[in-house]
Amino acid sequence: MSSHDEASADAGDGASHAPDLLASLEMRLKAEQATTCALQAELAVLREALQTQRLVFDTLPYPVFYQDEFSRFRGFNRAYVDMFNWSTGDMLGKTVLDLPTLPMDVRPQLKAEDDEVIATTGHLSREMVTPMADGNALDMLFYSVGFRKPDGTPGGLVATLVDITTRKNLERAAHAMAQEQQAIFDSVSIGIAFFVQRRFRQCNRLMERMFG
């Protein structure tokens, strides 16, 4: 067979394989398109879930924020932003050391507490006086809890603040009233003692001096 005949045979073989190659490419293209569609659908589901979580987060009536494993603020809900009159971007990526409303001398302690909660996946609950942007201060109940990432390493913390100013004001008013009543009780010039169901409950200072 001549070289011309061999070239013609090779060309014929290539032409005969061309439909198979095109079919294979078409199958791969369809598979890629199907994968892309599946990823787009999954991404849409995740995006909707994140939007739903964001809506739920923002509808919570109490201020809530969360930090990452390095104690950096990563998100605030609407109640938190409204309470402190901040722009969310002002504090993202920063720590409690950068909070403008907190006195400088308490920031290191709060930072250490955040680090401890995150490292141990623990929790913290305490009452605190929180300065506001308008110069006023509110009595707040602060609660934080640490969480872990899927791989088990510390992931950060979630915290909330509950305004207990009204309750604390009532407690202070009740305490002041009790002190006033005790002062009047002790100023009486005769000894007085109270018994409830024949059990001694209280006496004034004059009665104490009279009977020791």
Note the pLDDT of residue 99: 85
Among 87, 104, 86, 76, CA closest to 161: 76
In sign, the C-alpha dihedral spanning 70, 75, 77, 79 is positive
Residue 134 phi, psi (nearest 5): -85, 5
Note the pLDDT of residue 212: 60
Q: Taking the model in full, what pTM does it have?
A: 0.63
State the average pLDDT over residues 119-123. Answer: 95
Task: Give the Cα separation of 174 and 212 in Å (integer).
Answer: 29
3-class DSSP state of 205 = helix
Note the pLDDT of residue 16: 62
Note the pLDDT of residue 144: 96
Note the pLDDT of residue 2: 52
Q: What DSSP element (H or E) covers 163?
A: strand 154-163
Q: Which residues contact 165 (CB under 8 A, 6 or more apart)?
A: 138, 139, 140
pLDDT tens digits, 38-47: 777 777 777 7
Note the pLDDT of residue 69: 96
Average per-residue pLDDT for the chain: 81
State the average pLDDT over residues 74-95. Answer: 85
Residue with tokens 């005949």: 5
pLDDT tens digits, 170-196: 888 888 888 877 777 677 677 777 677
Is the per-residue pLDDT at 13 higher than 60? no
Range name among 48-52, 88-92, 164-168 with the lowest pLDDT average: 48-52
Note the pLDDT of residue 117: 97
Among 129, 131, 127, 96, CA closest to 111: 96
3-class DSSP state of 125 = strand
Among 157, 155, 161, CA closest to 142: 161
pLDDT tens digits, 59-79: 888 899 999 999 999 989 888
